[in-house]
């Protein structure tokens, strides 16, 4: 069934994440409640230690809560095994990381093809789609270049193309401009906004930069593992 724009695609209900450090227990998340709507561009902001990264791990099915429920597209991931989480991640979520996380020995095209291999997409389709995605991010002439032969902005655009490779339901961007100069970072944000505007892609972005956050439809402010404010 096709979801209507505005329906809830991600929901965190009273989510706690507690880490034990020796005899001390530290709550990275303390009863976090958060909803993300289909087709929304959401930014999560907060100081160091506020729980941003832990919240992103929950949204991205990279971790499960100590307590509470996390729903992704109607599925409660809180009690799933790692193998099941991996399947959900592979099908529904595309990741864009601050440090790009490209494989240095692979070409731009091969990096984009990689997630398609894990989803069993036929080889000919992988080649066609990777070339198409790299052309979409203005790297159609860099298919065979390795990451070390590309600028930081170009590497981030390869990472964006890779995130789109399996047509995910949600794009999670963790400080996507953090390692880029302001001009290049602006270009990356322009592309993410275009992706959201023209394709209706749901984007959840973690950032510490207020100027970057203001590109989103909604900003949620975290402190001590809880939402303490929001701006639309």
Q: 105: part of which helix (H) or strand (E)?
A: none
Q: Model pTM?
A: 0.86
Return the closest-CA partner of residue 86 out of 65, 67, 61.
61
Please check whether residue 95 is in contact with residue 123, taking contact to mean a CB–CB distance below 8 angstroms: no
Q: Which two tokens stand for residue 37?
A: 């709507």
Cα-to-chain-centroid distance, residue 75: 18
CA nearest 95: which of 124, 134, 56, 130? Answer: 56
Mean pLDDT across the stretch 120-129? 94
> What is the rounded average pLDDT of the residues 141-166?
93
Supply the pLDDT for residue 1: 39
Give the per-residue pLDDT at 3. Answer: 47
Which 8-state DSSP code applies to residue 170?
E
- Rounded distance, CA 26 to CA 225, Å? 11
What is the CB neighbour count within 10 angstroms for residue 86?
Answer: 14
Mean pLDDT, rounded, of the chain: 90
Strands (E), the chain: 8-21, 24-37, 41-45, 67-72, 75-76, 93-97, 170-174, 202-206, 218-223, 226-231
pLDDT at residue 182, rounded to an integer: 86
What domains sit in the chain, N to C, each tagged with a CATH number? 8-231 (3.40.50.300)
Question: Tens digit of pLDDT for each residue in 35-71?
Answer: 999 999 999 998 888 999 899 999 988 888 999 999 9
3-state secondary structure 27-62: EEEEEEEEEEECCCEEEEECCCCCCHHHHHHHHCCC
Q: 218-223 and 41-45: which strand pairing?
A: parallel
Whether 30 shows a pLDDT value over 90: the answer reads: yes
């Amino acid at each position: 069934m096709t979801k209507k724009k505005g329906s809830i695609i991600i929901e965190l209900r009273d989510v706690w994440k507690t880490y034990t450090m020796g005899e001390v227990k530290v709550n990275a998340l303390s009863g976090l409640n958060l909803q993300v709507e289909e087709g929304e561009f959401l930014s999560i902001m907060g100081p160091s230690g506020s729980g941003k990264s832990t919240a992103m791990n929950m949204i991205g099915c990279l971790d499960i809560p100590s307590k509470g429920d996390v729903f992704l597209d109607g599925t409660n991931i809180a009690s799933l095994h790692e193998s099941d989480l991996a399947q959900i991640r592979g099908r529904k979520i595309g990741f864009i990381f601050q440090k790009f996380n490209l494989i240095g020995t692979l070409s731009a095209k091969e990096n984009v093809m990689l997630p398609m291999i894990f989803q069993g997409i036929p080889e000919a389709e992988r080649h066609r789609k990777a070339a198409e995605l790299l052309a979409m991010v203005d790297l159609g002439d860099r298919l065979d270049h390795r990451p070390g032969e590309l600028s930081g902005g170009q590497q981030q655009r390869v990472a964006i193309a890779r995130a789109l490779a399996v047509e995910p339901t949600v794009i999670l961007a963790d400080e996507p401009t953090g390692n880029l100069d302001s001009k290049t970072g602006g270009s990356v944000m322009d592309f993410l906004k275009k992706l959201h505007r023209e394709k209706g892609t749901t984007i959840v972005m973690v950032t510490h930069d207020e100027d970057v956050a203001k590109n989103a439809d909604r900003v949620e402010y975290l402190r001590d593992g809880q939402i303490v404010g929001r701006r639309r």
